[in-house]
Structure 1
Amino acid sequence: MLTMNDIVRDGHPTLRKRAKDVSLPPSDEDKQILNSLMEYVQNSQDEEMATKYNLRPGIGLAAPQINVPKKMMAIHVTDETGKLYSYALFNPRIVSHSVQRAYLTTGEGCLSVDEAIPGYVPRYFKITVKGTTIDNEEVQLKLKGLVAIVFQHEIDHLNGIMFYDHINKVDPYAVPVNAVAIER
């Protein structure tokens, strides 16, 4: 089981590398890694498990964050209506996005970044993601709002991009043009 000790921190070289595609169908080893990513995010949201294993709560985790430079990520988050989005994907990619932007009013955080970094992170309000499940099925997901932001954050990890790279360096709280403010 993954713990906070398995998560590499900001400054680790793997976080800035472009991850490699996972060969499909996935190997047993790759399936095990993907399962461990999902297990972490689910367990980290369970108060008892998080306390027992000293897990920092997270809603998404990408393989580069555990020093595995491969395109794998897990998301376990509920949207503003309470609907659960729980996906573990190989080779996820954004195939289309809205012109309209969105940002979290609280800013973003990351399991690989220990300190809070203030500022708004502009993202797309709506995205369509394609990826492959652990059972080697291709899925296409139409996402919006918070869930779209979480997917973009994790897909950025697969491309060596950190959330704070998007923050306006001159005015961190500059509201992105044509953006929806999302409360979290």
Structure 2
Amino acid sequence: MITMEDIIREGHPTLRMVAKELTLPISEEEKQLGKDMLQFLKNSQDPEIAEKYNLRAGVGLAAPQLDISKRLVAVHIPGIEEGIDEPIISAVMVNPKIISHSVQSACLTEGEGCLSVDREVPGYVPRHSRITLTYFDLEGELHKTRLKNYPAIVIQHEIDHINGIMFYDHINKEHPFKIDDDVKVIS
């Protein structure tokens, strides 16, 4: 089981490396890693399990955050609407790639956080409001999906991790809460 002790923190060199593409079909070890990453996210969102194992809640995790420089990410975004148990998206993505994106940008009102960053980093993180993404699942099947708003932001955050980019690299250094007029702020 993955815990917070397995997640490397900012300053670790692996977080700044461009991760290697996985060769398909992926190995059993890589499949298990993907499943463990997704399970960590589910555990981190379960109040009882999170408290028992001292897990910070997360919606995305990239292999480089576990000191494994491979293009593998897991996302588990719970349904936002009351009474809906189905996640918006719950997937392990092998070699994810953004193939197109909107011109319009969006950012989260609260800014972004990261399991590899133990401090608050105030500021807006502008990202594309809509993306089209391709990725392979653990069985090697190709998927193409369109995402917008919060799910699109989460995926871009995780793809940044496999490209050696941290979320705060996008924040305006002089004016952290300054954004262009055409940027949609999502609460």
- Superposition TM-score, scaled by structure 1 size: 0.97
Q: Which residue of 1 aligns with 2:110?
A: 106
Counterpart CA distance in 1 for 2:113 and 2:76 is 15
Q: Deviations over 1:1-46 (max 9, x none)?
A: 0000000000000000000001101100110111111011111000
Query: Any gaps of 5 or more consecutive residues in structure 2?
Result: none
Verify: 1:32 aligned to 2:32, yes or no: yes
Q: Deviations over 1:139-174 (max 9, x none)?
A: 011000000000000000000000000000110000
Q: Deviations over 1:67-105 (max 9, x none)?
A: 000000011013655652111110001000000000000
Change (3 A) 1:78 1:180: farther
Pairs aligned (count): 183
Verify: 1:141 aligned to 2:145, yes or no: yes
Amino acid at match of 2:115: L
Could you list the runs of 4 or more consecutive aligned residues of structure 1 that deviate by over 3 angstroms after TM superposition?
A: 78-83
Amino acid at match of 2:9: R
Amino acid at match of 1:77: I
1:90 to 88, 94, 99: 94
User: Do 1:94 and 1:127's aligned partners in 2 also have CA atoms closer than 8 Å?
Assistant: yes
1:158 to 134, 157, 162: 162
| Seq. identity, % | 51
Counterpart CA distance in 2 for 1:36 and 1:50 is 15
CA RMSD between the two structures: 1.1
Counterpart CA distance in 1 for 2:62 and 2:180 is 26
| Offset, 1:135 | 1.5
Secondary structure, aligned partner of 1:121: coil
Verify: 1:72 aligned to 2:72, yes or no: yes
| Offset, 1:52 | 1.2
User: Do 1:78 and 1:147's aligned partners in 2 also have CA atoms closer than 8 Å?
Assistant: no
